[in-house]
Chains A and B, each alone.
Chain A
Amino acid sequence: MARSFSLTNNRVFRSVVRHGMPDTNRNRSLAVFSNFFLHIHPVKVRLRAMAFRQTFYLGGLSAAAFFILTVTGVLLMFYYRPAVPHAYNDMKDLEFVVASGVFLRNLHRWSAHAMVALVFLHMVRVFFAGAYRPPREFNWVIGVGLLLITLLLSFTGYLLPWDQLAYWAITVGTNMAQSVPFIGPDIKFLMLGGNEIGEPTLIRFYVLHCVVLPLTAILLVSVHIWRVRKDGGIYLPPKRHAPVGRKEES
C-alpha cells in the first residue's frame, strides 16, 4: 500500500474528532471539554461524588428513563393516531401486528413507572443528604417542578390508549380538578376541551404529553444539571478525618 490506511488518522475522522486518543491528561480533558454532548460534565469530578452510596445514581437513572421514554415514545408515534376510533385500534395494532410493537409499548410503560419511582427516590435522597441547603435551594424548587411534570406526563399518557382504564382515570382526575374552589369547573372545561371526555380531550392530552411537557422537562432538566455544576457538583458532606500521611483535602 502506498499510504497505510487508518481508521482514525484520516481527514474525515480528524475533522469530526479534534483531539487525540485519551491517553494523555490533556486529551482526556479535551475528550469531555470539546464535546457538545459531554461538556455539561465538568472535566474533573470529585471521587467521593461518584460513589454509589452517595447518590445511588438516581438522578442519572431518572434521566436515562426519560431518554428511553423519549425514544420509545417517538417510535410509538409512527403508528398511533390520537383520534377516535383510531387510538384504541392503533394500540391494538402495536400489540399484535407491529414487529417489536409489544416490546416498545411495554418498555415505554415500564420506563414510565420506573421514572416516577426513580424521581421520587432521588428527591428522598437529596432531602436526607441535606443537599437542598443553600446555595442549592433553587435547584430543589426546580426539582419539585420536574416532579410535577413527571406526574403530569404519566397522567396525560394514561389517556392515550383510550380504553376503559384510561377513560375512567381521566374522569376521576378531571372531577378532582373540578373541586378546586371558584375556578375548578373552568379548569375541567379547559382540560377536557369541552364538557365531556371526547376527541378534543384526546388531542389535547396528546399534544401535552408529546410536545409541551417533554419540552418543559428538557428545559428544566438542563437548568437543573447546570445548577448542580454551578453549585460545585454533587453535595458532599465534609470529611471528618485527615487521611494518614496526606494533607487534608477540603
Chain B
Amino acid sequence: MLVDDLGMPLTHEEITRRKALGMAGAGALCVACTGTMITAVRYLSPNVLYETSSRLKVGAPSSIAPGSVVTFPREKVFVVHATEGFIALSATCTHLGCMTRYEADRARIFCPCHGSQFSPEGTVLAGPAPTPLPRLEIALESGLLIVDTKKLVDPDFVLRV
C-alpha cells in the first residue's frame, strides 16, 4: 500500500465483499444493541405512579389568616398569606432535600438537617441553602385555593385575592 509522509494511505483500499458484509453485520449489531438498551430503559421507567396527586386543595381563602403560614406535610407545601396575597412554597430545603418546618415564634422556616433558614416568603436568611424556596402554582378555582406541586412559578409570583 502506498503511504504519504504521515503514514496515511494514498490509494483507496478496495472494499472486498467480505469487508462489506462484515460492516453490514457490525451495523446491524449496533442497531440491535441500541434498540435493546432503549427498550431496557423504557421498561425500567414506570408509566403508572402510585404517588400522591400533585393537586392540593387548600380550602377557602378566608381559612388562612393574614400573616400566617399553613403547613401541608404530606405534600410538602407551605401556604403563606402574605401582605401582597397568597404564596405557595415548596417545603423541601434547597440544600439537600430535607423537609423544613415553620417556626411561628421566630417567623422563619427552618431546616433541621444543616440549619438553613428561610423567611416566610422563601428567601434564604442563613445556612447552606443556595437558592430560595421555590414557589408553586397557586390558583383560585370555584372559590377554593388549589396548589399544583408539579408546577413551579416565578420567584415573585403572588396570588391576589
Contact, CB under 8 Å: B97 / A193:
no
A13 within 8 A of B: no
How many B residues face the partner with a CB closer than 8 A? Answer: 12
- Separation of A198 and B49 alpha carbons in the complex (Å): 10
Q: Would you call B41 and A194 a contact (CB within 8 A)?
A: no
- The closest CB in chain A to the CB of B150 belongs to A195
**A189 on the interface (CB 8 Å rule)?**
yes
A199 at interface, CB cutoff 8 A: yes
Whether A193 pairs with B51 at a CB distance below 8 angstroms is: no
Q: Is B44 an interface residue (CB 8 A)?
A: yes
Within 8 A of B (CB), among A173-217: 175-176, 189-190, 193-196, 198-200
A168 interface contact, C-beta 8 A? yes
**CB distance B97 to A172 under 8 Å?**
yes
Q: Which residue of A lies closest to B96 (CB)?
A: A172
A194, B51: Cβ atoms under 8 Å?
yes
Within 8 A of A (CB), among B16-71: 41, 44-46, 49-52
User: Is residue B144 contacting chain A, with contact meaning CB distance below 8 A?
Assistant: no
Contact of A168 among B46, B51, B113 (CB under 8 A): B113
Indicate if the CB atoms of B97 and A175 lie closer than 8 Å. Answer: yes
Asked if B98 is an interface residue, CB under 8 A from chain A, the answer is yes
Q: Which residues of A contact B49 (CB under 8 A)?
A: 194-195
CB distance from A7 to the nearest CB of B (A): 53
A34 within 8 A of B: no
The A-B contact count (CB < 8 A) is 29
A106 at the interface (CB under 8 A from B): no
Contact flag A198-B51 (CB < 8 Å), given A171-B97, A175-B97:
yes
B contact residues around A195 at 8 Å (CB)? 49, 51
Distance, CA A198 to CA B96, complexed state (A): 18
Q: What is the CB-to-nearest-CB distance from B109 to chain A, in angstroms, rounded to a whole number?
A: 18
Chain A residues contacting B46 (CB-CB under 8 Å) are: 193-194, 200
Which residues of A lie under 8 Å from residue B51 when comparing CB positions? 194-196, 198
Of the residues A171, A172, A190, A198, contact of B50 by C-beta under 8 Å? A198
User: B52 contacts which chain A residues (CB < 8 A)?
Assistant: 196
Given contacts A194-B49, A194-B51, A195-B51, contact A171 B98 (CB under 8 A): yes
Cα A189 to Cα B41 in complex, Å, equals 11
- Kindly report which residue of chain B lies nearest to residue A171, judged by CB atoms: B97
Q: Indicate with 1 or 0, residue by residue over B88-119, a CB within 8 angstroms of chain A CB atoms.
A: 00000000111000000000000001000000
By a CB distance below 8 angstroms, the chain B residues around A194 are 46, 49-51
- Quick one: closest B residue to A199, CB to CB? B50
Bound CA–CA A163/B50 (angstroms) = 21
Given contacts A168-B113, A195-B49, contact A190 B41 (CB under 8 A): yes
A189, B45: Cβ atoms closer than 8 Å: yes
A190 to B46, CA, bound (A): 8
Measured CA separation A171–B44 after assembly (Å): 20
Which 9 interchain pairs have the tightest Cβ spacing? A175-B97, A171-B97, A194-B49, A172-B96, A196-B51, A193-B46, A175-B96, A194-B51, A190-B44
Other than A172-B96, A190-B45, give 20 A-B pairs with Cβ distance below 8 A. A168-B98, A168-B113, A171-B97, A171-B98, A172-B97, A175-B96, A175-B97, A189-B45, A190-B41, A190-B44, A193-B44, A193-B46, A194-B46, A194-B51, A196-B51, A198-B50, A198-B51, A199-B50, A200-B46, A200-B50
